[in-house]
Amino acid sequence: METSSSSIPLRPLSRGSLQHPPGYDEHDHRQQEQQQPSATGEQHAESTVPPMETLPPYSHAPPPELVSGRGYTTTLRRSRWVLLLTLLYLILAVYSWVITVILSYRPLYGFKSWQWPASVYWDDDTPSMAGNDRVYRSARVIQSIVSVVTLPWISAVCASAAVIFVQKQKSADALTLRQVMTLADRRWMDPTVWYHLTGSGGGSKRYTSSFLLGAMCIYLAALVTYPIQSIFLTSQTITVPKSPFQVANTVDFTQIDSVQYSDASGYPGVIMLIARNSLSSATTATPQYHLWQSEKGGIVPTFLDISSLTDPFYCPLPVGLNTGQARQFAPRINSTATSTSITEDDWPSDCNSSSKSGFYFHYSSANLDTEYDSSFDVVACMLDYTTTSPWTATRKPQNFSETLYLNLTQQGYSAMSNVHLYKITVKTTAGYFELPNYMNDLTPGPLLDEDFASLCGTDCPDQNEWLYVKRADTTNDVVSSDWNALVETQINPGPLLTTAAAIFGPSSFIETWPSTFAEINASLAQSVPNSNNICLELPPLQNLLLGEDSYSCQSFDSKGTPSDGLMEWIYDFLYGSDNMANAFTAAALLANQAWFQTLDGQLYVYKDFGTDVEVPSISLAGIVVVSALMGLYMIPLLLLAIYSSLSPRWTSQLDSFAMLRMGAAIGEKSLPFLVGRNMDAITVLDELPGVVQNVASPASEGIEVGHLGLGPGKRLMSKVRYEAFEGDDEDWNQSERNIIFLARNNGGHHQPAS
């Protein structure tokens, strides 16, 4: 066996003589050769080319057919199709990934956020989401294609670049035939190669080359990229704004000082009348559609639940109103009452008939007929009452407190006959909150610390209303002149003042019942003898005091006295004193509701349920990890494609056809056609060279024609002709014909006929 320093030429199948007689026409000669019998062709070949078996396998002597001007030759060419297709692959892969990442945060068409700016709500040319949907679907399709072709294409690029790697080694023994065969087998995608790389297969150096390790790294990075991407990347359906529509208008606190009353509906007495009707008809079991709490859920509560609600408050809009994709804000009022039983020492000295507090009412049975030896006294007093409204024209939070003192004295009517003194305090906090929407998970927002105009972004339709819309028509209500005189300058009373006036103020039940009883007695007693126990009037607050199952009304009894009905009402009031705090809390909510019903609405409220759009979803960590993995294989793949396209090549890919020619050049003596299941034991593969070079000797005349071979030689060059198969033959260009012509003339040959 010779050493690896010998060269092994890679010969084409057959050639004719490389010397032409004078007047020889190469085209005509080729046609004659094709028309000759095959036996003649074989005889001619045998006469010009010695049999392969007679040539030394490592001979440096050029075959006689290498004389200039004869045989099939071609120049080496670069192959750029791998680079072009790789660029196309990378463009598609990067496009699908970039589109996916962008759409996970914002739309491509229309605006910079999935939450559209408010200006589009007034624009008839609002962009559609269809363009983003088409782009996303195209990215998904391309991503599917890319994930399928990634590994096969990496293998194809590596096989193409391996040709350049094999032919551009600095020395002939830089690669062994075994290492070249490992590349030709594309072992970078074969898991069994680790068996050899770990040394278990007879030593890693026998198989390993720098190209193999690089190709394995690229392949492994690509192998894990898309499975990891599928872990991080999901799709979700989000709702984006579409077109808002107005659902309500409500009060703006900034406008309450500018409200001007031009008719009876504007006087505070109207608020009291509305509240009085509400207090008379309300029960603890009645659903309260304006009683909110700061928790998610649209369940309509009752006053029975008020003590168990989380931060209950009144809002003029119905409970659970969902504004969808539009952020909207509304006013809210939280009025909470406390009730304390006090002693006579705690009773304010200013609460008397001569009090200048402005709110003092005293009712007594002294001037009424009583059937039994019983009596009553009712005193209601508010010392902190002023003609100035406690409400402030602001969108910031506002707080105030009101206090009512009650003296409910009853003698000789029941076991509860005694003096009962109470201090009722209602603390009110008002402001604005964000209505439930898709952005806050359908949960009412907290009380805002500032004007919502500073918080509202591009996702808020403008809530300013330019036309006043009346909230309630109360022009037919009759208001007591006494009440109007009492509070004529306080156009926006607090909830406790409204409640106290409704229960104990002018024209209240306790004031009007004696006259009502007398009128009924006069009109019905004679004509309807059996008119006893006719329900005539619902006393305010009584049902809220007595509890869930109560439905109390003041009935007419022709055999009774006016004071009997009032004594019964006071008894019910005292009987339900344990519920007084909850009752006055509920009354404050109804009073706030009555106030809002008399005001003009100055805020629009919009709703926008939007439209559903499917978008990708991926975390920032997922974007970083997947992008890094894509870069780990895409950048080396691009560099490998560039490397493959820059140098001229002797074959397209390092494939079975390339190895077939190498095997033919080596010959059967070195690699006989025998059973070879155990390649590790065939040591000749480690001795034979694997670097393809030009092993031809310099020509003595004319143009030098290179000859491919394994072993020592010269590097392959782009401007040198090499022996080739007939299908790759290139005609001589004019410059080459001139060189051949001059060489022949100098050698004594005649110039060929033109």
Query: Residue 57's pLDDT is what?
Result: 42
pLDDT bin (cut points 50, 70, 90) of residue 723 is confident
CA dihedral sign of residues 106, 109, 111, 115: negative
Picking from 598, 600, 587, the residue whose alpha carbon sits closest to that of residue 267 is 598
pLDDT tens digits for range 271-298: 888 899 999 888 888 899 999 998 887 6
Q: At residue 519, what is the residue type?
A: E
Output the DSSP codes for 441-489. TT-PPPPPSS-GGGT--TTS---EEEEEEES---TT----HHHHHHSTT
The two tokens of residue 317 are 């809009």
Number of C-beta neighbours around residue 268 at 10 A: 25
Q: If you average pLDDT over each of 195-204, 357-366, 640-649, which comes out highest? A: 640-649
Average pLDDT over residues 587-614: 87
**List of residues 6+ apart from 741 with CB closer than 8 A:** 751, 752
pLDDT tens digits for range 82-117: 999 999 999 999 999 999 999 988 888 766 777 655
> How far is residue 139 from each of residues 103, 455, 624, measured CA to CA in Å?
10, 36, 19
Q: How far apart are CA 207 and CA 419, in angstroms?
A: 108
Query: Residue 20's pLDDT is what?
Result: 41
Picking from 670, 723, 682, 705, the residue whose alpha carbon sits closest to that of residue 58 is 670
pLDDT tens digits for range 319-378: 989 988 888 999 999 999 999 999 999 999 888 876 666 788 999 888 776 666 778 899
Q: How far apart are CA 139 and CA 657, in angstroms?
A: 38
The two tokens of residue 510 are 């306790």
**List of residues 6+ apart from 680 with CB closer than 8 A:** 201, 202, 206
- CB burial of 372-386 (b: ≥16 within 10 Å; e: otherwise) equals eebbbbbbbbbbbbe
Query: Residue 120's pLDDT is what?
Result: 52
Number of C-beta neighbours around residue 555 at 10 A: 15
The owner of tokens 């072993």 is 711
Rounded (10°) CA dihedral 43, 48, 50, 51: -30
pLDDT bin (cut points 50, 70, 90) of residue 406 is very high
Say if CB 669 and CB 55 are below 8 A apart.
no
Rounded to a whole number of angstroms, the CA Rg of the chain reads 51
pLDDT bin (cut points 50, 70, 90) of residue 56 is very low
Query: For 57-102, where are the E strands, in sequence order?
Result: 73-75
Longest dimension (CA), the chain: 163
> How far is residue 317 from each of residues 79, 150, 297, 577, 747, measured CA to CA in Å?
74, 58, 15, 31, 111
Query: Residue 285's pLDDT is what?
Result: 86
| pTM beyond cutoff 0.75 | no
pLDDT tops 90 at residue 724: no
pLDDT tens digits for range 64-91: 444 444 578 887 888 889 999 999 999 9
- Please name every residue paired with 77 in a beta bridge, in sequence order, or none if there are none: 649
Say if CB 643 and CB 359 are below 8 A apart.
no
Q: What are phi and psi of 720, to 5 degrees?
A: -105, 140
Query: Residue 403's pLDDT is what?
Result: 94
Number of C-beta neighbours around residue 371 at 10 A: 11
Q: Which secondary structure element, helix H or strand E, spans residue 33, and what is its range?
A: helix 26-35
Query: Residue 42's pLDDT is what?
Result: 38
Query: Residue 232's pLDDT is what?
Result: 93
Q: How far apart are the first and last CA of the chain?
A: 51
The two tokens of residue 98 are 């970039």
pLDDT tops 70 at residue 425: yes
Picking from 355, 428, 352, the residue whose alpha carbon sits closest to that of residue 591 is 428
pLDDT bin (cut points 50, 70, 90) of residue 179 is confident
Query: Residue 201's pLDDT is what?
Result: 54
The owner of tokens 């010392």 is 383
Contacts 24+ apart (CB under 8 A), 300-309: 303/544, 303/582, 303/586, 304/548, 306/582, 306/585, 306/586, 307/582
pLDDT bin (cut points 50, 70, 90) of residue 158 is very high
By mean pLDDT, which of 165-169, 334-338, 515-519, 737-741 is the weakest? 737-741
Length of the chain: 754
Q: Which secondary structure element, helix H or strand E, spans residue 402, and what is its range?
A: strand 398-411
DSSP one-letter code for 327: -
pLDDT tops 90 at residue 26: no
Query: Residue 531's pLDDT is what?
Result: 56
| Alpha carbon 512 to chain centroid, angstroms | 64
| Alpha carbon 643 to chain centroid, angstroms | 41
pLDDT tops 60 at residue 483: no
